[in-house]
Amino acid sequence: MREINTTQIKDQIKELFLKANYHIDQELRQRLEEALSEETSSIGKSVLQMIIENNKIASKEEIAICQDTGLAVVFVELGQQVCIVGGDFTEAVNQGVKEAYEEGYLRKSVVDDPVFERKNTKTNTPAIIYTEIVPGDKIKFTVMPKGFGSENMSALAMLTPADGAAGIINFIVKTVEKAGPNPCPPTIIGVGIGGTAEQAMVIAKKAIARKIGTPNPNERYAAMEKEALEKINNLGIGPAGLGGRTTTLAVHIDYLPTHIAGMPVAVNVCCHAARHAEGIL
């Protein structure tokens, strides 16, 4: 057994949320530069230039990339030989989020009751935590501050096996088309296929955090990613929805075994401010 103290967990979560909210990773910055050189619309070009410049300013001054610093999503891969000591795990994660959002001048966007009170919790907690037990004696965290302009455009379809790859691609493209300018294009589209309804959406969200442009290792799924991306960009929605060839920067598909009678497909939409950071304890 390897002991990990909850203070280390709290500090790690805090550091990762600060990092994610201030700095866009290298691969995404590069993908945005490529998009700028490929874009044919002059408005589209100027929008992409503004986004690139914005990311530089945020990183240099250590201020939020976007004012919607999102709900705090945390994926945990917990090594089964880890023994957590010193306190409550969930509390440590929430404390890390609270400290990051308070001390890092990040907006608190969580309301306690979704329907009635809708009172701000003022700490940006509770975090949304997904835990997976894995072999080993380490903990891996992937944090994603998730803005809601894009989250609101996400969708789930319980397709039938007969719908096949074509039906899935059609659903992905339709979802992006319907979203239009609202999710702050250019977007990154996470797709989860299979499992159960909720599992499909969880893997769709996690797929967003994949290193941008890395295709699914399964060739057939990689081909679907490519086809969906091409069809989406042929919609012409463009940067900020003001027309152009860059509507989406990448489609990341992930899949799981599912039931003989079904084919769940979840589309999780993320804006160009696709913020995530990873750390291992």
Q: Which residues bind another protein (CB under 8 A)?
A: 40-47, 50-51, 53-55, 57-58, 61, 63-69, 105-107, 120, 149, 152, 180-182, 184, 234-238, 240-245, 271-273
As a whole number of angstroms, the distance between CA 156 and CA 173 comes to 13
Please say which residue, 26 or 234, places its beta carbon nearer to another protein. 234
Report if residue 185 touches ligand SF4, rule: CB under 6 A.
Answer: no
Residues pairing with 120 in the sheet: 111
Task: For residue 126, say if its preceding peptide bond is cis, omega within 30 degrees of 0.
Answer: yes
Q: What are phi and psi for residue 109, nearest 5 degrees?
A: -125, 15
DSSP 203-265: HHHHHHTSPTTPPPSSHHHHHHHHHHHHHHHTT---GGGSSSS-SEEEEEEEEEEE-TT-EEE
Tokens 């929605």, located at residue: 237
Q: How many CB atoms lie within 10 A of CB 237?
A: 26
- Which residues lie below 8 Å from residue 230, measured CB to CB, with a gap of 6+? none
Between β-strands 187-195 and 248-258, what pairing exists: parallel, antiparallel or unpaired? parallel
Report CA 86 to chain centroid distance, whole Å: 31
Please say which residue, 108 or 138, places its beta carbon nearer to another protein. 108
The 8-class DSSP code of residue 81 comes to T
As a whole number of angstroms, the distance between CA 156 and CA 105 comes to 34
The residue count for binding ligand SF4 (CB under 6 A) is 9
Q: Which stretch binds ligand SF4 (CB under 6 A): 97-105, 133-141, 146-154, 193-201?
A: 146-154
45 binds, among another protein, ligand SF4, none (CB under 5 to 8 A by kind): another protein
Tell which one of 183, 192, 238, 264 touches ligand SF4 (CB under 6 A).
183
Tell which one of 149, 181, 215, 262 touches ligand SF4 (CB under 6 A).
149
Residue nearest to ligand SF4 (CB): 147
Please say which residue, 157 or 184, places its beta carbon nearer to ligand SF4. 184
Report if residue 66 touches ligand SF4, rule: CB under 6 A.
Answer: yes
Report if residue 181 touches ligand SF4, rule: CB under 6 A.
Answer: no
> Smallest gap, in angstroms, from Cβ of residue 145 to ligand SF4?
8
CA distances from 16 to 11, 65, 167, 170, 209 (A): 9, 14, 37, 36, 13
Report if residue 68 touches ligand SF4, rule: CB under 6 A.
Answer: yes
235 binds, among ligand SF4, another protein, none (CB under 5 to 8 A by kind): another protein
> Smallest gap, in angstroms, from Cβ of residue 235 to another protein?
6
Q: Which stretch binds ligand SF4 (CB under 6 A): 7-15, 95-103, 109-117, 142-150?
A: 142-150
Residues pairing with 129 in the sheet: 74
Give me the residues that bind ligand SF4 (CB under 6 A), please. Answer: 66, 68, 147, 149-150, 183-184, 271, 273
